[in-house]
Structure 1
């Protein structure tokens, strides 16, 4: 049974403010380009690649933005808990609650690509304990469950 967390999940400008606060708490600056990348990422309804984000930012900025620049910013946003990386899709999602730190469990639909992030602390803590028992120091466990979402299954 998943542990229920009472997250404050801001939307729109409030999400951008929460992301900015989290990034600045990590010691980084909230620059115009970082804001543009985060804004584009938050605008996608499913995980987006750096190329998707670069294209969206390029349209808004009216100039070409290289995917390499976007990758660097995404790495920074992930490190600050502002974005999450869906490893199997090499894509990213905006963290809906950047002020709360949990290991990720993603449910990834193989039909539509929709990805849902859930928190289940007993499961992720069990993964950490198993890794430590094997002599491994887990840094950032990410669990992905591939399958079919309720919308595609119905």
Structure 2
């Protein structure tokens, strides 16, 4: 499978949080302490995390219970502003390591270890968009998920 090679600046740690904050404020949204805490916790996961997992860790960090519904709302904001991606089949989220670069999501999900690798292939997702348009459907943002076994578990 050919993926289009373009170079992302992969952000990590504080650099990732700074990039996320800049992207969100550039979109006209506020970077609140709660949003910062949720993003910081989300960014620690190397596998897709549920809102409940994130709520538990943010609750521990803040010393008071944070409702999963509040986390869901913020995660939806992050997804709509390209700070996070949602793995639809797992109802779980991953921080976007390059929030300034918008691509349709293609996830390779391992059924054994639960890892989700995000790849970019603009020609593939472009064809998905074209097929949707040909069927009279306006695709907002295609998400392609391929389930199987990763190289580490194979």
TM-score by length of 1: 0.98
Q: Across the two proteins, how many residue pairs are aligned to each other?
A: 153
1:132 corresponds in structure 2 to: 133
Superposition misfits of 4+ residues, deviation over 2 angstroms: none
Task: Output one character per residue of 1:32-82: Cα deviation in whole Å (capped at 9) or x when no partner.
Answer: 000000000001110000000000101111111110000000010111100
2:94 is the counterpart of 1:56: no
| Distance apart, 1:151 and its partner CA | 0.4
1:75 corresponds in structure 2 to: 76
| Distance apart, 1:26 and its partner CA | 1.3
2:19 is the counterpart of 1:18: yes
| Distance apart, 1:27 and its partner CA | 1.1
2:117 corresponds in structure 1 to: 116
| Distance apart, 1:25 and its partner CA | 1.4
Q: Secondary structure at the match of 2:153?
A: helix
TM-score by length of 2: 0.98
Mapping for residues 88-99 of structure 1, pairs under 5 Å:
88-99=89-100
Q: Secondary structure at the match of 1:152?
A: coil
CA distance in 1, matches of 2:139, 2:46: 30
Unaligned 5+ segments in structure 1 are none
